Amino acid sequence: MGRRAWTAVSLVAVVSIVLGSMFAMPLVPASRASSGSSAPVNVGFTFSERQAGYLDVSWQKAFEAAMDLSPDLVRLGAYWDRIEPTPGKYDFSDLDWLLDHVPAQSSVLLTVGMKAPRWPEYFLPGWLRKSVNVPAGGNISQDATVRSATLRFISQVVQHERARTNIKYWQVENEPLDPSGPRHWRIDSGFLSEEIGLVRSLDSRPIVESMFVDTSPLGALPPWHGQIEDEARELLGLADVLGLDVYPIRPMSAKPIQLALKWPVWLWEPRLRDLRRLAQSAGKQTWISEAQAEPWLPARLVTTGSSPSRNAAPNLTASTVERLQADGFHTILLWGVEYWYMRSARYEDPNWWSGMLPFFRDSRSQSGSPGSA
Protein backbone atom coordinates (compact mmCIF):
# COMPACT_ATOMS: atom_id res chain seq x y z
CA MET A 1 0.00 0.00 0.00
CA GLY A 2 1.40 3.40 -1.01
CA ARG A 3 2.05 6.37 1.26
CA ARG A 4 -1.05 8.18 0.03
CA ALA A 5 -3.25 5.18 0.81
CA TRP A 6 -1.73 4.80 4.27
CA THR A 7 -2.34 8.50 4.90
CA ALA A 8 -6.02 8.05 3.97
CA VAL A 9 -6.38 5.04 6.25
CA SER A 10 -4.69 6.91 9.10
CA LEU A 11 -6.98 9.88 8.58
CA VAL A 12 -10.06 7.66 8.67
CA ALA A 13 -8.79 6.04 11.86
CA VAL A 14 -8.33 9.43 13.49
CA VAL A 15 -11.80 10.51 12.37
CA SER A 16 -13.19 7.27 13.79
CA ILE A 17 -11.64 8.00 17.17
CA VAL A 18 -12.94 11.56 17.17
CA LEU A 19 -16.44 10.48 16.18
CA GLY A 20 -16.42 7.77 18.81
CA SER A 21 -15.47 10.30 21.46
CA MET A 22 -17.99 12.90 20.33
CA PHE A 23 -20.90 10.55 19.95
CA ALA A 24 -20.29 7.99 22.68
CA MET A 25 -23.87 8.30 23.88
CA PRO A 26 -26.56 5.86 24.95
CA LEU A 27 -28.58 4.48 22.09
CA VAL A 28 -32.03 5.98 21.73
CA PRO A 29 -34.65 3.31 22.39
CA ALA A 30 -37.00 2.62 19.51
CA SER A 31 -40.58 1.60 20.11
CA ARG A 32 -41.24 -2.04 19.25
CA ALA A 33 -44.52 -0.97 17.72
CA SER A 34 -42.68 1.23 15.23
CA SER A 35 -41.48 -1.78 13.27
CA GLY A 36 -44.82 -1.93 11.51
CA SER A 37 -44.90 -5.71 11.83
CA SER A 38 -46.90 -8.02 14.06
CA ALA A 39 -44.48 -10.92 13.59
CA PRO A 40 -43.24 -12.38 16.90
CA VAL A 41 -39.70 -11.69 18.06
CA ASN A 42 -37.59 -14.72 19.00
CA VAL A 43 -34.92 -13.84 21.55
CA GLY A 44 -32.23 -16.21 22.72
CA PHE A 45 -28.48 -16.34 23.23
CA THR A 46 -25.26 -18.17 22.53
CA PHE A 47 -24.05 -20.32 25.40
CA SER A 48 -20.44 -21.50 25.58
CA GLU A 49 -19.20 -23.84 28.28
CA ARG A 50 -15.71 -22.64 27.31
CA GLN A 51 -16.59 -19.07 28.25
CA ALA A 52 -18.12 -20.18 31.56
CA GLY A 53 -14.84 -21.92 32.30
CA TYR A 54 -12.90 -18.76 31.47
CA LEU A 55 -15.13 -16.86 33.91
CA ASP A 56 -14.46 -19.56 36.52
CA VAL A 57 -18.06 -20.56 37.13
CA SER A 58 -19.68 -23.97 36.83
CA TRP A 59 -20.79 -24.28 33.23
CA GLN A 60 -23.52 -26.75 34.19
CA LYS A 61 -24.99 -24.38 36.79
CA ALA A 62 -24.64 -21.44 34.43
CA PHE A 63 -26.44 -23.34 31.69
CA GLU A 64 -29.26 -24.49 33.96
CA ALA A 65 -29.76 -20.89 35.11
CA ALA A 66 -29.73 -19.70 31.50
CA MET A 67 -32.32 -22.29 30.52
CA ASP A 68 -34.59 -21.00 33.31
CA LEU A 69 -34.96 -17.90 31.12
CA SER A 70 -36.85 -20.05 28.59
CA PRO A 71 -35.04 -18.71 25.51
CA ASP A 72 -36.75 -19.14 22.17
CA LEU A 73 -33.44 -20.19 20.62
CA VAL A 74 -30.07 -21.16 22.08
CA ARG A 75 -26.91 -21.47 20.01
CA LEU A 76 -24.39 -24.12 21.08
CA GLY A 77 -21.00 -25.01 19.67
CA ALA A 78 -19.61 -28.46 18.89
CA TYR A 79 -16.06 -27.84 20.12
CA TRP A 80 -13.77 -30.03 18.06
CA ASP A 81 -10.83 -30.17 20.49
CA ARG A 82 -13.09 -31.55 23.23
CA ILE A 83 -15.10 -33.92 21.07
CA GLU A 84 -12.18 -35.52 19.21
CA PRO A 85 -9.18 -35.25 21.58
CA THR A 86 -7.65 -38.33 19.93
CA PRO A 87 -7.91 -38.95 16.17
CA GLY A 88 -11.02 -40.99 15.41
CA LYS A 89 -12.17 -41.22 19.04
CA TYR A 90 -15.17 -39.05 19.88
CA ASP A 91 -16.52 -37.85 23.21
CA PHE A 92 -19.92 -36.15 22.92
CA SER A 93 -20.66 -36.19 26.65
CA ASP A 94 -20.52 -32.42 27.25
CA LEU A 95 -22.49 -31.56 24.13
CA ASP A 96 -25.05 -34.28 24.83
CA TRP A 97 -25.47 -33.01 28.39
CA LEU A 98 -26.23 -29.51 27.11
CA LEU A 99 -28.71 -30.76 24.54
CA ASP A 100 -30.38 -32.99 27.13
CA HIS A 101 -30.96 -29.95 29.38
CA VAL A 102 -32.52 -27.62 26.81
CA PRO A 103 -36.19 -27.10 27.79
CA ALA A 104 -38.87 -28.45 25.48
CA GLN A 105 -40.06 -24.99 24.44
CA SER A 106 -36.58 -23.90 23.27
CA SER A 107 -34.96 -24.59 19.90
CA VAL A 108 -31.27 -25.15 19.24
CA LEU A 109 -28.89 -23.81 16.62
CA LEU A 110 -25.80 -26.05 16.63
CA THR A 111 -22.51 -24.92 15.09
CA VAL A 112 -20.27 -27.49 13.43
CA GLY A 113 -16.84 -27.20 11.86
CA MET A 114 -13.37 -25.99 12.84
CA LYS A 115 -14.69 -22.62 14.08
CA ALA A 116 -17.15 -22.15 16.94
CA PRO A 117 -18.34 -19.26 19.11
CA ARG A 118 -15.82 -17.67 21.50
CA TRP A 119 -12.08 -17.19 21.56
CA PRO A 120 -9.79 -18.47 20.09
CA GLU A 121 -12.35 -18.97 17.29
CA TYR A 122 -10.60 -22.02 15.81
CA PHE A 123 -10.85 -25.16 17.97
CA LEU A 124 -8.59 -27.58 16.16
CA PRO A 125 -7.59 -30.50 18.42
CA GLY A 126 -3.97 -30.58 19.52
CA TRP A 127 -3.10 -33.61 17.40
CA LEU A 128 -4.11 -31.69 14.27
CA ARG A 129 -2.99 -28.21 15.27
CA LYS A 130 0.64 -29.23 15.75
CA SER A 131 0.84 -30.30 12.09
CA VAL A 132 -0.67 -27.09 10.68
CA ASN A 133 1.78 -24.73 9.01
CA VAL A 134 -0.54 -22.00 7.75
CA PRO A 135 0.94 -18.50 8.11
CA ALA A 136 -0.81 -15.67 9.94
CA GLY A 137 -3.52 -14.22 7.73
CA GLY A 138 -3.56 -17.35 5.60
CA ASN A 139 -6.34 -19.55 4.30
CA ILE A 140 -6.45 -22.53 6.65
CA SER A 141 -8.93 -24.36 4.44
CA GLN A 142 -6.17 -24.76 1.83
CA ASP A 143 -4.42 -27.24 4.13
CA ALA A 144 -5.44 -30.65 2.76
CA THR A 145 -5.11 -32.40 6.13
CA VAL A 146 -7.30 -29.82 7.84
CA ARG A 147 -9.89 -30.03 5.07
CA SER A 148 -10.29 -33.80 5.22
CA ALA A 149 -10.25 -33.90 9.03
CA THR A 150 -12.86 -31.11 9.23
CA LEU A 151 -15.23 -32.92 6.88
CA ARG A 152 -14.90 -36.15 8.89
CA PHE A 153 -15.61 -34.25 12.11
CA ILE A 154 -18.67 -32.50 10.69
CA SER A 155 -20.02 -35.82 9.45
CA GLN A 156 -19.59 -37.40 12.88
CA VAL A 157 -21.33 -34.52 14.71
CA VAL A 158 -24.30 -34.33 12.36
CA GLN A 159 -24.82 -38.09 12.34
CA HIS A 160 -24.54 -38.27 16.14
CA GLU A 161 -26.96 -35.42 16.88
CA ARG A 162 -29.41 -35.37 13.96
CA ALA A 163 -31.98 -37.55 15.75
CA ARG A 164 -32.57 -34.73 18.25
CA THR A 165 -35.75 -32.86 17.46
CA ASN A 166 -34.75 -29.77 19.45
CA ILE A 167 -32.00 -29.00 16.94
CA LYS A 168 -33.81 -26.84 14.39
CA TYR A 169 -30.83 -25.32 12.54
CA TRP A 170 -27.21 -26.06 11.73
CA GLN A 171 -24.54 -23.38 11.53
CA VAL A 172 -21.54 -24.44 9.46
CA GLU A 173 -18.50 -22.63 10.88
CA ASN A 174 -18.79 -19.33 12.77
CA GLU A 175 -18.09 -16.14 10.80
CA PRO A 176 -16.36 -18.42 8.26
CA LEU A 177 -15.24 -15.77 5.76
CA ASP A 178 -13.91 -13.34 8.39
CA PRO A 179 -10.22 -13.50 9.37
CA SER A 180 -10.13 -14.26 13.08
CA GLY A 181 -8.35 -15.89 15.98
CA PRO A 182 -4.80 -15.25 17.14
CA ARG A 183 -3.47 -16.16 13.67
CA HIS A 184 -6.16 -14.28 11.72
CA TRP A 185 -6.87 -17.34 9.60
CA ARG A 186 -9.77 -17.45 7.16
CA ILE A 187 -11.86 -20.10 5.41
CA ASP A 188 -12.57 -19.72 1.70
CA SER A 189 -16.08 -19.85 0.28
CA GLY A 190 -15.23 -22.88 -1.87
CA PHE A 191 -14.51 -25.07 1.13
CA LEU A 192 -17.45 -23.59 3.04
CA SER A 193 -19.68 -24.64 0.15
CA GLU A 194 -18.25 -28.17 0.39
CA GLU A 195 -18.94 -28.26 4.14
CA ILE A 196 -22.51 -27.03 3.69
CA GLY A 197 -23.07 -29.57 0.93
CA LEU A 198 -21.97 -32.34 3.29
CA VAL A 199 -24.40 -31.21 6.01
CA ARG A 200 -27.24 -30.98 3.49
CA SER A 201 -26.50 -34.52 2.33
CA LEU A 202 -26.90 -35.76 5.91
CA ASP A 203 -29.85 -33.69 7.13
CA SER A 204 -32.54 -31.38 5.78
CA ARG A 205 -32.67 -28.70 8.47
CA PRO A 206 -31.91 -25.08 7.47
CA ILE A 207 -28.35 -23.77 7.39
CA VAL A 208 -27.35 -20.50 9.09
CA GLU A 209 -24.20 -18.60 8.13
CA SER A 210 -22.90 -15.61 10.08
CA MET A 211 -20.69 -12.60 9.47
CA PHE A 212 -19.16 -9.83 11.55
CA VAL A 213 -20.61 -6.41 10.71
CA ASP A 214 -18.26 -3.47 11.27
CA THR A 215 -20.14 -0.82 13.27
CA SER A 216 -17.40 1.82 13.00
CA PRO A 217 -17.37 4.72 10.49
CA LEU A 218 -15.03 2.65 8.29
CA GLY A 219 -17.92 0.30 7.48
CA ALA A 220 -19.76 3.12 5.74
CA LEU A 221 -16.89 3.98 3.40
CA PRO A 222 -15.60 2.35 0.23
CA PRO A 223 -14.09 -0.17 -0.11
CA TRP A 224 -15.23 -1.49 3.29
CA HIS A 225 -18.95 -1.06 2.63
CA GLY A 226 -18.68 -2.95 -0.65
CA GLN A 227 -16.71 -5.74 1.02
CA ILE A 228 -19.43 -6.16 3.65
CA GLU A 229 -22.13 -6.48 0.99
CA ASP A 230 -20.00 -8.85 -1.12
CA GLU A 231 -19.51 -11.13 1.88
CA ALA A 232 -23.23 -11.10 2.59
CA ARG A 233 -24.00 -12.07 -1.02
CA GLU A 234 -21.56 -14.99 -0.84
CA LEU A 235 -23.17 -16.31 2.34
CA LEU A 236 -26.70 -15.79 1.02
CA GLY A 237 -25.77 -17.88 -1.99
CA LEU A 238 -24.91 -20.79 0.30
CA ALA A 239 -27.20 -20.61 3.34
CA ASP A 240 -30.88 -20.35 4.23
CA VAL A 241 -30.38 -17.70 6.92
CA LEU A 242 -27.88 -14.83 7.13
CA GLY A 243 -26.71 -14.05 10.67
CA LEU A 244 -25.30 -10.62 11.50
CA ASP A 245 -22.95 -10.12 14.46
CA VAL A 246 -23.32 -6.61 15.89
CA TYR A 247 -21.05 -4.93 18.45
CA PRO A 248 -21.68 -1.19 18.92
CA ILE A 249 -18.96 -0.98 21.61
CA ARG A 250 -15.56 -1.85 20.17
CA PRO A 251 -12.05 -1.85 21.65
CA MET A 252 -9.23 -0.10 19.80
CA SER A 253 -5.60 -0.66 20.70
CA ALA A 254 -2.72 1.49 19.47
CA LYS A 255 0.05 1.17 22.03
CA PRO A 256 0.14 2.75 24.53
CA ILE A 257 -3.46 3.93 23.94
CA GLN A 258 -6.31 1.51 24.62
CA LEU A 259 -9.87 2.67 24.07
CA ALA A 260 -13.38 1.24 24.04
CA LEU A 261 -15.49 3.27 21.63
CA LYS A 262 -19.29 3.35 21.63
CA TRP A 263 -20.45 3.88 18.08
CA PRO A 264 -23.81 5.69 17.83
CA VAL A 265 -26.78 3.94 16.32
CA TRP A 266 -26.98 6.24 13.29
CA LEU A 267 -23.59 4.94 12.13
CA TRP A 268 -24.38 1.22 11.98
CA GLU A 269 -28.17 0.89 11.79
CA PRO A 270 -28.40 1.75 8.04
CA ARG A 271 -25.77 -0.93 7.36
CA LEU A 272 -27.93 -3.60 8.99
CA ARG A 273 -31.03 -2.43 7.15
CA ASP A 274 -29.17 -2.63 3.82
CA LEU A 275 -28.07 -6.19 4.56
CA ARG A 276 -31.58 -7.16 5.59
CA ARG A 277 -32.97 -5.80 2.32
CA LEU A 278 -30.26 -7.67 0.43
CA ALA A 279 -31.34 -10.92 2.09
CA GLN A 280 -35.02 -10.19 1.45
CA SER A 281 -34.30 -9.71 -2.26
CA ALA A 282 -32.74 -13.20 -2.23
CA GLY A 283 -35.76 -14.64 -0.43
CA LYS A 284 -33.73 -15.34 2.71
CA GLN A 285 -34.14 -14.58 6.41
CA THR A 286 -31.79 -12.30 8.33
CA TRP A 287 -31.07 -12.80 12.02
CA ILE A 288 -28.96 -10.98 14.54
CA SER A 289 -26.79 -13.94 15.44
CA GLU A 290 -24.77 -11.97 18.00
CA ALA A 291 -26.02 -8.81 19.73
CA GLN A 292 -23.45 -7.47 22.16
CA ALA A 293 -24.58 -7.94 25.76
CA GLU A 294 -21.30 -7.88 27.68
CA PRO A 295 -18.23 -5.61 27.84
CA TRP A 296 -15.56 -5.97 25.17
CA LEU A 297 -12.23 -4.64 26.41
CA PRO A 298 -8.83 -4.23 24.72
CA ALA A 299 -6.58 -7.28 25.16
CA ARG A 300 -9.17 -9.16 27.28
CA LEU A 301 -12.09 -11.43 26.50
CA VAL A 302 -14.21 -9.77 29.16
CA THR A 303 -13.52 -8.22 32.54
CA THR A 304 -13.73 -10.60 35.49
CA GLY A 305 -13.09 -8.09 38.28
CA SER A 306 -15.60 -7.10 40.94
CA SER A 307 -16.17 -3.58 39.59
CA PRO A 308 -18.77 -3.36 36.81
CA SER A 309 -17.30 -2.41 33.45
CA ARG A 310 -18.03 1.15 32.40
CA ASN A 311 -17.89 0.47 28.67
CA ALA A 312 -21.14 -1.54 28.54
CA ALA A 313 -24.37 -1.54 30.51
CA PRO A 314 -27.67 -3.43 30.46
CA ASN A 315 -29.64 -0.34 29.44
CA LEU A 316 -27.45 0.10 26.34
CA THR A 317 -28.00 -3.52 25.34
CA ALA A 318 -31.75 -3.20 25.96
CA SER A 319 -31.86 -0.13 23.73
CA THR A 320 -29.92 -1.96 21.03
CA VAL A 321 -32.26 -4.96 21.12
CA GLU A 322 -35.35 -2.75 20.99
CA ARG A 323 -33.87 -0.91 18.03
CA LEU A 324 -33.16 -4.15 16.20
CA GLN A 325 -36.67 -5.39 16.89
CA ALA A 326 -38.10 -2.15 15.53
CA ASP A 327 -35.98 -2.58 12.40
CA GLY A 328 -37.71 -5.88 11.69
CA PHE A 329 -35.17 -8.41 12.98
CA HIS A 330 -37.36 -11.13 14.45
CA THR A 331 -34.64 -13.48 15.70
CA ILE A 332 -32.01 -11.98 18.00
CA LEU A 333 -29.33 -13.94 19.88
CA LEU A 334 -27.65 -12.09 22.75
CA TRP A 335 -23.94 -12.49 23.43
CA GLY A 336 -22.92 -12.64 27.08
CA VAL A 337 -25.27 -14.80 29.16
CA GLU A 338 -22.27 -16.43 30.88
CA TYR A 339 -21.14 -12.96 32.00
CA TRP A 340 -24.60 -12.10 33.39
CA TYR A 341 -24.48 -15.30 35.43
CA MET A 342 -20.94 -14.65 36.70
CA ARG A 343 -21.83 -11.09 37.81
CA SER A 344 -24.83 -12.34 39.76
CA ALA A 345 -23.37 -15.54 41.19
CA ARG A 346 -19.94 -14.26 42.21
CA TYR A 347 -20.50 -10.59 42.99
CA GLU A 348 -24.22 -10.58 43.86
CA ASP A 349 -24.71 -8.06 41.08
CA PRO A 350 -28.03 -8.90 39.37
CA ASN A 351 -28.08 -5.83 37.10
CA TRP A 352 -27.25 -7.66 33.87
CA TRP A 353 -29.50 -10.61 34.62
CA SER A 354 -32.48 -8.49 35.63
CA GLY A 355 -31.79 -6.04 32.80
CA MET A 356 -32.08 -8.80 30.18
CA LEU A 357 -34.97 -10.59 31.89
CA PRO A 358 -37.77 -8.63 30.13
CA PHE A 359 -36.70 -10.06 26.76
CA PHE A 360 -37.42 -13.64 27.83
CA ARG A 361 -40.54 -15.64 28.67
CA ASP A 362 -39.10 -16.44 32.08
CA SER A 363 -41.40 -17.80 34.78
CA ARG A 364 -38.91 -19.12 37.34
CA SER A 365 -36.24 -16.40 37.78
CA GLN A 366 -38.39 -13.29 38.20
CA SER A 367 -36.31 -12.29 41.22
CA GLY A 368 -33.63 -11.15 38.78
CA SER A 369 -31.01 -13.50 40.24
CA PRO A 370 -30.00 -16.91 38.83
CA GLY A 371 -28.63 -18.34 42.06
CA SER A 372 -25.07 -18.88 43.18
CA ALA A 373 -22.06 -20.66 41.69
Digit-coded pLDDT (tens) for 114-123: 999 999 999 9
Quick one: pLDDT at residue 235? Answer: 98
Query: Which pLDDT score is estimated for 371?
Result: 60
Pairing, β 207-213 against β 257-262: unpaired
Spell out a b/e string for 27-49, using b for 16 or more CB atoms within 10 Å of the CB, else e. beebeeeebeeeeebebbbbbbb
**The pLDDT value given to residue 28:** 34
pLDDT for 31: 34
Q: Which amino acid is at 286?
A: T
* Residues 153-193: tens digit of each pLDDT: 999 999 999 999 999 999 999 999 999 999 999 999 999 99
Structure-model confidence comparison of residues 161 and 303, the more confident one: 161
pLDDT in tens, 183-206: 999 999 999 999 999 999 999 999
Mean pLDDT of the chain: 87
Asked if pLDDT for residue 75 goes beyond 90, the answer is yes
> Residue 29: what pLDDT?
34
Segments making up each domain of the chain, as ranges: 34-359
Q: What's the pLDDT at 14?
A: 42
What pLDDT digit, counting tens, does each position of 242-256 carry? 999 999 998 877 777
**Residue 298 pLDDT > 90:** no
Instruction: Find out if CATH 3.20.20.80 is the number for domain 34-359.
Output: yes
DSSP notation for 204-225: -S-EEEEEEE--SGGGGSTTHH
Q: Say which range, 5-19, 52-66, 297-311, has the weakest mean pLDDT.
A: 5-19
Q: Which of 5-14, 251-260, 280-289 has the lowest mean pLDDT?
A: 5-14
Q: Residue 23 has what pLDDT?
A: 40
Tens digits of residue pLDDT in 213-232: 999 998 888 888 899 999 99
pLDDT of 13 reads 47
Task: State percent of the chain over pLDDT 90.
Answer: 73
Identify whether the C-beta of residue 211 lies closer than 8 Å to the C-beta of residue 231: yes
String of b and e for 206-227 (b: at least 16 CB within 10 Å)?
bbbbbbbbbbbbbbeeeeeeee
pLDDT score of 36: 38
Instruction: Provide the pLDDT for residue 368.
Output: 66
pLDDT bucket at 40, cuts 50 / 70 / 90: low
The per-residue b/e assignment along 105-134, b for 16 or more CB within 10 angstroms, e otherwise, is ebbbbbbbbbbbbbeebbbbbeebeeeeee
Q: Which amino acid is at 314?
A: P
Peptide bond into 256 cis (omega under 30): yes
Task: Name the band, by pLDDT with cuts 50, 70 and 90, for residue 37.
Answer: very low
pLDDT digits (tens, 9 = 90+) for 7-36: 333 334 444 444 444 443 333 333 333 333
